[in-house]
Amino acid sequence: MMRPRPDLTAHAREIAPLLLGSLLTSRVGGVPVTVRITEVEAYGGVGEDPGSHAFRRETPRNATMFGPPGRAYVYFTYGIHWCLNVVTGPTGSAGAVLLRAGEVVAGVDVARERRISARSDRDLARGPARLTSALGVTGERDGLDLFAARSVLRLMLTEPASDANIGVSARTGVGGAGAGTPWRFFLLGEPSVSLYRRASR
């Protein structure tokens, strides 16, 4: 039985907490690895959110953010890391939810091989760059439909966490006018949630 496609046309700040607890399965390389999402951050559109890649305008780099909701927006940062987002909002509006951290719940051995520097299993996907590394995700997955039946990256939403189990804070590593925007959401008590850090000057 096919699962109904979720409606992700709302603003990223509304969709973000709904992704907590969801299951993201990667079949990159033909080996499945599943991460339960424990931390996310929302990013808005043009002229709205100074912390967003889409704040000024659409560019070749951020074009996926303006596309259909439910697509993967994958970008390169600091010249060494890949980060994975879920596109939200109506097509053309620009919005995305960064998947910041999660717990590897299946394919742990594969994730360990990809993340040999991890000190423990809680660190396998603890942070956005570690999460993509554990899943084997790189920029070639940008624009991928995360809800297509045969997608190599498949996201399955679960029952939303209760408000009492969700923590909220400013986004980590975001500076300038967007520094204090409280669009980081995480599951309380989860060891896989990454540490909050202020933006470096």
Per-residue DSSP letters for 59-70?
A: -TTTGGGGS-TT
Give domain 12-187's CATH superfamily.
Methylpurine-DNA glycosylase (MPG) (3.10.300.10)
Domain boundaries, the chain: 12-187
Q: What is the pLDDT along the chain (201 residues), one digit of tens a residue?
A: 446 789 999 999 999 999 999 999 999 999 999 999 999 999 999 999 999 999 999 999 999 999 999 999 999 987 789 999 999 999 999 999 999 999 999 999 999 999 999 999 999 999 999 999 999 999 999 999 999 999 999 999 999 999 999 999 999 989 898 999 999 999 999 999 998 877 665
Q: Residues 6 or more apart from 135 whose CB is under 8 A from it?
A: 24, 26, 28, 33, 35, 84, 111, 125, 153
Q: Is 53 in contact with 66 (CB distance < 8 Å)?
A: no
Report DSSP state, residue 35: E
